[in-house]
Amino acid sequence: MELYYPPEYLALTPEQVNEIDNGCGPKKFGYLVPDKFYGLDISESCKIHDVSYALGKTQEDKYKADIEFLRNMLCLILQAGGFMPIKMLRCYRAMTYFLAVYEKGDEAFFVGKEREDGMDAE
């Protein structure tokens, strides 16, 4: 199982990706959200998610980016292997990150964009 990269991501230069990427967590308080789960670096998943948010336009694009984020984190966890207790803790943390962006990520996704559904990001 390999990380999923959206075609739009693959079309960007590394410099363009670095301009968009702000690590795991929100731009304003990202330092509060670790890029590692019990020693496992998941920052590549966060980078892909940041780019998907920047390039997405619709609520459906946001949900797709969030699901791909979860998939990529779980992929990294499975690739890393290790003892079951560590894998379970990492999976729990991945689900926590996923639920945070899924439930609270509208503002970050729609910043500077006009929502098609006419609703304001809260």
26: confidence class by pLDDT, cuts 50, 70, 90: confident
Mean pLDDT of 13-40: 86
More confident residue, 31 or 52: 52
**pLDDT higher than 90, residue 28:** no
pLDDT tier, 118 (very low <50, low <70, confident <90, very high otherwise)? low
Tokens of 29: 């308080």
d(CA 17, CA 46): 11
pLDDT tier at 51 (50, 70, 90 boundaries)?
A: very high
Which runs of consecutive H residues, i.e. helices, occur in 4-58? 7-10, 14-20, 43-55
Q: What mean pLDDT comes out for the span 18-37?
A: 82
Q: What pLDDT is stored for residue 27 in this prediction?
A: 73
- Kindly indicate the confidence band of residue 112, based on its pLDDT and cuts at 50, 70 and 90: confident
User: What pTM was computed for the model?
Assistant: 0.89
| Lookup result for tokens 């998941």 | 42
**Which token pair is 20?**
């968009």
Residue 92, pLDDT above cutoff 70:
yes
* Alpha helices (H) in the chain, listed in sequence order: 7-10, 14-20, 43-55, 59-80, 84-104, 106-110
Angle at 82 between CA 79 and CA 83, to 5 degrees: 140
Helix (H/G/I), strand (E/B), else coil: 103: helix
